[in-house]
Amino acid sequence: MKFKVSVIGAGNVGATTAQRIFEKKYADVVLVDVVEDMPQGKALDILESGPVLGTDSKITGSNGYEETANSDVVIITAGIARKPGMSRDDLLLTNMKIVGSVTKEVVKHSPESIIIVVSNPLDAMVQHAYNISGFDSKRVIGMAGILDTARFSTFIAEELDVSVESVNAYVLGGHGDTMVPVIGATNVGGVPVEKMIEKNKLESIVQRTRDGGAEIVALLKTGSAFYAPSAAIVQMVEAILLDKKQILPCAVLLNGEYGFNDVYAGVPVKLGAEGIEEVIEVDLNTEEQNALSKSVDSVIELLEIMAKNANS
């Protein structure tokens, strides 16, 4: 029996994620969106690639949640992008309502599922989904660290003209301007990156990583990144469905790890069939720990805004 994965939100990120999972052959996919006929059209287009790709997986488009019932993994990409003139708080509160309503449907139809949240602002949205779901925190996970780490690794590999497979790196903290690329834990072929790239250049790579999403938005003019984000989501899905016990940076609820409690932030975790099976604590120097604290504080600010508006 194949696994079942539902993707909520059939925009570029959601549809590309659905396509990538369909092509893996081990899961049937349901693609959900509120726009009438759009997810059905995208799902049919993807389904018709099956004979070419040699996959008998099924993919279904829907405007409701009945077809998602009993999903093993549900991926939430639904939400709006920030528009000109829209404040960060406006974006936060709009997506809070969307993610909250989606999460209620997920719980209703797939109470045993693992939820992966991709909607922005990521860390606040995954914490909101956790609060609404009532699930164990190990089954509500945010995707951001894999994407940020992939960008960091890409820029390092380009600078050194080496394979990306030779780069080992982690980016921790919130998904935004305060993310923390951990230089001390980054090596290339086992050699510390600080010995291979001079300090100023390394600092510019760190900043480019933090600006990674904005750089793509500026180039596209309309829309935002979706190829790399969808690849990052699928790496998480595969680690869960195939019980890989893979160590990956994900947004998880911290309960004392790294000195934080009851807040979601990006850290390395062991990801397997149960969801988060272990939080991995990387040694951080004082500068990195302070940067992580600043990053977590920025997440807490968003949570406070959400709490205030939820009670108003």
Q: What b/e sequence results for 233-254 when a residue is b if at least 16 CB atoms lie within 10 Å of its CB, and e otherwise?
A: bbbbbbbbbeeeeeebbbbbbb
CA 301 vs. chain centroid, Å, equals 20
Distance CA 271, CA 252 (A): 11
Tell me the CA distances in angstroms from 76 to 7, 17, 41, 143, 230, one per residue in order.
Answer: 6, 11, 19, 10, 12
Do 250 and 142 form a contact (C-beta atoms < 8 A)? yes
Catalytic (active site) residue 109: no
- Helix 286-310 vs helix 88-109: angle between axes, to the nearest 10 degrees? 80
Pairing status of strand 171-172 against strand 180-181? antiparallel
Contacts of 140 (CB under 8 A, 6+ apart): 114, 115, 117, 126, 129, 130, 133, 253, 275
From 175, 296, 299, 302, active-site residue: 175
- Helix 199-210 vs helix 212-220: angle between axes, to the nearest 10 degrees? 60
Pick the closest to residue 58 from 66, 48, 73, 70 (CA basis): 48
Half-sphere exposure of 286 (CA within 13 A, CB side): 0
Q: Which residues are catalytic?
A: 175
